[in-house]
Amino acid sequence: MHTRPIWAEISRSRLVANFEHLQGIAAANGAQVLAVVKADAYGHGATLCAPWLVQAGASWLGVTSVEEGVAVRQVCRNARILVMCGIWPGEEDALIDHNLVPTVWTARHVELLAAAARRRKLSAQSLPMHVELDTGMSRQGVGCAPQELEEFLALLRKCICEAPALDVEGVFTHFASPEMLDSPQNFDQAARFAAALETISAAGFRPAFIHAGNSSTLLGQQMLAPLAALARKYQARFLVRPGLALYGYALPFVGGAASAAHLLPNLQPVLCWKTRIAALRHVPAGTAVGYGATFIASQEMRLALLPVGYADGFNRRLSNCGSVQLRGQRAAILGRVSMDLTVIDVSNIPQATVGDEVILLGHAADGKLSDAEDSAVTAPVTAYDHAAWAETIPYEILCAISIRVARVGVE
Ligand SMILES: *Cc1c(COP(=O)(O)O)cnc(C)c1O
């Protein structure tokens, strides 16, 4: 039940427009999009967003876990669903029952799947897996040092021999610095990926899909054609995996001949986070606001109370520094953001009344998207603003919007 007025409107048309924009760039470079809906679609609600993306033409979706994959499967019967962050003992049956595709990179993953395939007497090649290669992030993936890779391939061969249901359907990697257009790391990683694919091919594996890259890779474009050519060399399809850009945001590009910023206006923020004014009061000069009395009114002021706090994912670092939008104007946050409450300054918005809709983040569905820079007083509040105030990245802002906030689909 969601009756407390704090909700996030998720726009179908904006999500689809972003997807189509990204799919267009991908197609022009010989790639297809794997739409990343992990972390509950970056806080947008995976069960809302995934079906919209599938209807718009996404054939592949990426989720964090088996648990998320099962939830997405309920609403997307036919999509391919890649579980991007590995599998855990006890998840094999759910993975198989819901036709999810596991990412594997350790012996333990492959052995778990082989045992499940044997136990369930699965038919040959009916359990596809995608192998992740660590080409330079020291995070997930099989290391690309020759010995480590050879050992993993030997293990794969042995497990496939014992459990022919297993199939290496995909091989992929992830880039560390794709928004840094001149970073040699991108080219180093791509070179390691190419060398590893050569080894994998020489070992007799024929993955149908090769994938690499995220939103920045796709928007920056420069890596796409070489990666697509690499996939073609092995008669595989090339996928690129945007997440953040689907939801209308992107990291700024660094370096490169020209800033790729001209690509960004084509993205439309999908989420608009709202609440309503709970109460209003006039206070005289000298009044303290909130925990620790970190704000003291220097003059008479009119305050509005919002029923939102850090338990909703409204970052406490916005205390005394962030703002919200109300009746088309910005209103500053006064004092500390509490767990469930936040106070704003409506001294300059005399029409403000109890029950007024307040935009915490995003662009109203009926608002223009392009007037963001018109005026600091009226500009929509973006996830970039929140990220700057909270000293983090838009990803974390969006993912942090808590489960207490209802996600409501709108056109
Ligand atoms: C999260 C993730 C992506 C998507 O990244 P964005 O920067 O949101 O586009 C792609 N691939 C992998 C492996 C990821 O973990």
The predicted-structure confidence for 128-181, as pLDDT tens digits, reads as follows: 999 999 999 999 999 999 999 999 999 999 999 999 999 999 999 999 999 999
- The percent of residues in the chain predicted with pLDDT above 70, rounded, is 95
Q: How far apart are CA 291 and CA 319, in angstroms?
A: 10
Q: Is 38 a catalytic residue?
A: yes
Count of other CB atoms within 10 angstroms of residue 310 = 20
**Best probe residue, ligand 1, of 15, 25, 36 (max atoms within 8 Å of C-beta):** 36
Q: How far apart are CA 359 and CA 7, in angstroms?
A: 10
Cα of 187 to ligand 1 centre, how many Å?
18
Q: How far apart are CA 308 and CA 340, in angstroms?
A: 5
Q: How far apart are CA 134 and CA 142, in angstroms?
A: 5
| pLDDT value, residue 142 | 98
- Asked if residue 41 has its Cβ within 6 Å of ligand 1, the reply is no
Specify the higher pLDDT residue, 237 or 366.
237
Give me the phi and psi of 150, to 5 degrees please: -60, -40
Read off the pLDDT of each residue in 359-369 and give the average, rounded to a whole number. Answer: 77
Residue 290's H or E segment, with its range, is none
pLDDT in tens, 71-89: 999 999 999 999 999 999 9
pLDDT in tens, 270-313: 999 999 999 999 999 999 999 999 999 999 999 999 999 999 99
> pLDDT category, 379, cuts 50, 70, 90?
confident
pLDDT in tens, 107-125: 999 999 999 999 999 999 9
Q: In 3-state terms, what secondary structure has residue 324?
A: strand
Read off the pLDDT of each residue in 223-234 and give the average, rounded to a whole number. Answer: 96
pLDDT at 374 over 70: no
| Ligand 1 atom with least separation from CA of 172 | 13
pLDDT at 260 over 70: no
The residue behind tokens 């994912």 is: 313
| pLDDT value, residue 371 | 47
User: Out of 23-27, 179-183, 403-407, which region has the weakest mean confidence (pLDDT)?
Assistant: 179-183
Q: Identify the residue whose C-alpha is closest to ligand 1 atom 3.
A: 214
> pLDDT category, 231, cuts 50, 70, 90?
very high
CA angle 139, 144, 148 (to 5 degrees): 100
Count of other CB atoms within 10 angstroms of residue 338 = 17
Angle, nearest 10°, between helix axes 46-55 and 12-28? 50
Q: In 3-state terms, what secondary structure has residue 343?
A: strand
| pLDDT value, residue 102 | 98
Q: Which two tokens stand for residue 244?
A: 């953040």
Q: How far apart are CA 145 and CA 138, in angstroms?
A: 12
**Best probe residue, ligand 1, of 83, 214, 219, 223 (max atoms within 8 Å of C-beta):** 214
Report how far Cα 205 is from the mean position of its chain's Cα atoms. 31
Rg (CA), the chain: 24
Cα of 77 to ligand 1 centre, how many Å?
23
Q: How far apart are CA 222 and CA 178, in angstroms?
A: 10
Q: Which amino acid is at 182?
A: D
* Four-CA torsion 362, 353, 329, 281, nearest 10 degrees: -110
The residue behind tokens 């500009």 is: 379
Q: Which two tokens stand for residue 383?
A: 């996830």
| pLDDT value, residue 341 | 98
Q: Which two tokens stand for residue 65?
A: 């876990």
| pLDDT value, residue 258 | 55
Q: Identify the residue whose C-alpha is closest to ligand 1 atom 4.
A: 243
Give me the phi and psi of 20, to 5 degrees please: -65, -40
Question: How many angstroms separate the most distant Cα atoms in the chain?
Answer: 79
Q: Which entry of 38, 247, 249, 395 is annotated as an active-site residue?
A: 38
* CB distance 70 to 280 below 8 Å: no
pLDDT at 262 over 60: no
Give 408: exposed, middle or buried? Use CB within 10 Å, 0-12, 13-18, 19+.
middle
- Asked if residue 244 has its Cβ within 6 Å of ligand 1, the reply is yes
Q: How far apart are CA 218 and CA 100, in angstroms?
A: 25
| pLDDT value, residue 363 | 87
> pLDDT category, 2, cuts 50, 70, 90?
confident
| pLDDT value, residue 254 | 87
| pLDDT value, residue 115 | 98
How many alpha carbons fall within 13 Å on the CB side of residue 49? 33
Read off the pLDDT of each residue in 2-17 and give the average, rounded to a whole number. Answer: 95
* CB distance 207 to 200 below 8 Å: yes
- Asked if residue 241 has its Cβ within 6 Å of ligand 1, the reply is yes
pLDDT at 265 over 80: no
Rounded mean pLDDT of the chain? 95
Residues 6 or more apart in contact with residue 75 via CB below 8 angstroms:
47, 50, 51
Q: How far apart are CA 362 and CA 405, in angstroms?
A: 15
SS3 readout for 58-95: CCEEEECCHHHHHHHHHHCCCCEEEECCCCCCCCHHHH
